[in-house]
Amino acid sequence: MTQPLLSAGSMTGDNVVNPAGEDLGKIEELMIDTESGRVGYAVLSFGGFLGMGDKLFAIPWESLQVDMANKRFVLNVAKERLESAPGFDKDQWPNMADRNWGATIHSHYGRTPYWAA
């Protein structure tokens, strides 16, 4: 069975959990590589309280699984691993087109960079 197409807007705000069911945050943005047309990253907000003090994380798109039945995503990482991931502030986004930065992010999640796959 194939996955249906979803609009990027419909995924914004969706929850992300790990396989243990722990809440890891929510999808804030999807980052599209305009040269390849692929989704490069989902930007996840995590931490803070009532939206204050959240840290943002770029998650390689291939690291997420869609849980259609529960309208959420599953990221196979422990909460502690996410907490130690390279993150950024909502007012200071990294240059996500920087391949060195991207390689570091993909390595943290044990993934081959999408542009090298």
Task: Evaluate whether residue 31 is within a structural domain.
Answer: yes
| In-domain check, residue 69 | yes
CATH code of the domain covering residue 66: 2.30.30.240
- Please give the share of the chain, as a percent, with pLDDT higher than 70: 92
The structure's pTM equals 0.88
| Residue 27, CA distances (Å) to 23, 39, 99, 116 in order | 12, 13, 22, 24
Residue 68 lies in a domain: yes
Residue 103 inside a domain? The answer is yes
Range 40-48 average pLDDT: 89
Query: Which tokens sit at 47?
Result: 């931490």
The model's pLDDT over 58-107, given as tens digits with 9 standing for 90+, comes to 999 999 999 989 999 999 999 989 888 999 998 999 999 999 999 999 99
Could you tell me where the DSSP H helices lie in the chain?
8-11, 79-83, 99-108
* 44 inside domain: yes
Spatial strand order of the sheet with 55-60 comes to 55-60, 39-46, 23-32, 15-17, 72-75, 64-67
Question: Is 18 within 8 Å of 8 (Cβ atoms)?
Answer: no
Whether residue 117 has pLDDT greater than 80 = no
Question: What is the per-residue pLDDT for 48?
Answer: 64
| pLDDT confidence of residue 54 | 81
Does residue 112 have a pLDDT over 80? yes
Residue 102 lies in a domain: yes
State the total domains in the chain: 1
Which domain covers residue 65, as residue numbers? 8-108
Asked whether residue 113 is assigned to any structural domain, the reply reads no
Average pLDDT, the chain: 89
pLDDT of the residue at 49: 59
2 is a domain residue = no
Higher pLDDT: 1 or 7? It is 7
